[in-house]
Amino acid sequence: MGRYHAQKLAALPDVELTAVVDADLSRAQALGAPAFADYREIFGKVDAAVIAVPTDRHFAIARDCLEHGVHLLLEKPIATSLAEADELIALAAKRRLVLQSGHVERYNAAFQALHARMDRAVFVEAERLAGFKRRGAEVDVVLDLMIHDLDLACALARAEPVGVSACGFRVLTRDIDIANARIEFANGCVANLSASRVSQAPVRKFRVFQADLYVSADLQAGKLRYVRESGGAIAETEDTYGGGDALAAQAASFAAAVAGREPVRIDGREGRRALELALTVGRLVRERLQRFV
């Protein structure tokens, strides 16, 4: 992911790609910018950085960067614990630094259109399925994949979560590979989310219902299908949002926040909310699994 972030940032007119850091120095050097094997070598050379290391290293590196005055875009999940997330949020606020959470799906053009159209969602259903990859396997499927949809569901509900139930199973790893969660929100909205990292074909689908409208979204294909009642009949329309680049949009948003041109769109607090939900889902799944051992 770091390679892709570097490419998107380098393409922005108001950003200079000053350094790329990778434990594998040859991989960093392949991107054409000054390369380092130790992130501490960039201090004093950069204004902002993207952290795209394994999740268990997020906190230590992010804290060090913030202490050295570096604005951050931090890949999801923001940290491995709420205590770590709280410390990063407090440190960024104290130093008046940008701490942006890397929930890139918020920049998906189809999701943005869906979010703009739904003003009172009552039920959200999501499927996020992927084939198994070693990258990301240091965490369970909830922190790896479902956390995207936990964040999107909160955005669609426009309310805070108040109740969670969940189930899940181990398949190819010693941790959770398939999970299902039901989230209830303070305004009555309910979300039913499923995630798998042991599926044969990738799927990123949303179905969202409100009193006068049903929308089916294929976030991977960028398609929205609207269904509503019109004159006693069911009317369907479809919109396509092809050619978008969510990662590039996220990079531009981060650069604008660092430059002070716009507020941080997805800040550390929203990253913490998604993390809290993901940790709760994971805990509930493990408790359920222990009952059936």
Note the pLDDT tens digit of each residue in 136-170: 567 899 999 999 999 999 999 999 999 999 999 99
Nearest in space to 221 (alpha carbons), one of 206, 236, 210: 206
Please say whether the beta carbons of 80 and 56 come within 8 A: yes
β-strand partners of 180: 167, 194
Please say whether the beta carbons of 235 and 227 come within 8 A: yes
Residues 224 and 284 in one domain: yes
Residues 281 and 146 in one domain: yes
Q: Check residue 192 and give its pLDDT.
A: 98
- 210 confidence band (pLDDT: 50, 70, 90): very high
Distance CA 73, CA 48 (A): 8
The SS3 assignment for 271 reads helix
Nearest in space to 74 (alpha carbons), one of 95, 93, 57: 57
CATH number (domain holding residue 214): 3.30.360.10
Entry pTM: 0.93
261: which 2 tokens? 């041109």
- CA dihedral sign of residues 253, 258, 264, 267: positive
Residues 55 and 98 in one domain: yes
CATH number (domain holding residue 82): 3.40.50.720
Residues 29 and 86 in one domain: yes
Residues 121 and 135 in one domain: yes
For residue 239, the Cα-to-chain-centroid distance in whole angstroms is 24
How many domains does the chain divide into? Answer: 2
Residues 79 and 116 in one domain: no
Distance CA 109, CA 102 (A): 16
Q: Check residue 15 and give its pLDDT.
A: 96
Cβ-Cβ contacts under 8 Å for 136 (sequence gap 6 or more): 144, 145, 197
User: Which residue segment(s) compose the domain that 209 sits in?
Assistant: 110-245+276-291
- For 226-260, give one letter per residue: b (16+ CB within 10 A) or e: beeeeeeeeeeeeeebeeeebbbbbbbbbbbbbee
End-to-end CA distance of the chain: 37
Residues 189 and 259 in one domain: no
17: which 2 tokens? 């790609």
- 293 confidence band (pLDDT: 50, 70, 90): low
Lowest mean pLDDT of 77-81, 145-149, 242-246, 271-275, name the range.
Answer: 242-246
Residue 77: asked if its preceding bond is cis (omega within 30°), the reply is yes
Query: Strands, E, within the chain: which ranges?
Result: 20-21, 35-36, 48-51, 71-75, 99-102, 123-129, 161-169, 178-185, 190-196, 203-210, 213-218, 223-230, 233-240
Please say whether the beta carbons of 200 and 210 come within 8 A: no
How confident is the model over 94-111, as pLDDT tens digits?
999 999 999 999 999 999
Q: How far is CA 247 from CA 118, 135, 234, in A?
A: 23, 18, 36
Residues 84 and 206 in one domain: no
Distance CA 86, CA 30 (A): 36
Q: Check residue 135 and give its pLDDT.
A: 62
Residues 24 and 47 in one domain: yes
Residues 239 and 253 in one domain: no
Residues 9 and 42 in one domain: yes
Q: Check residue 137 and give its pLDDT.
A: 64
Residues 163 and 99 in one domain: no
How confident is the model over 46-92, as pLDDT tens digits?
999 999 999 999 999 999 999 999 999 999 999 999 999 999 999 99
β-strand partners of 125: 192, 207
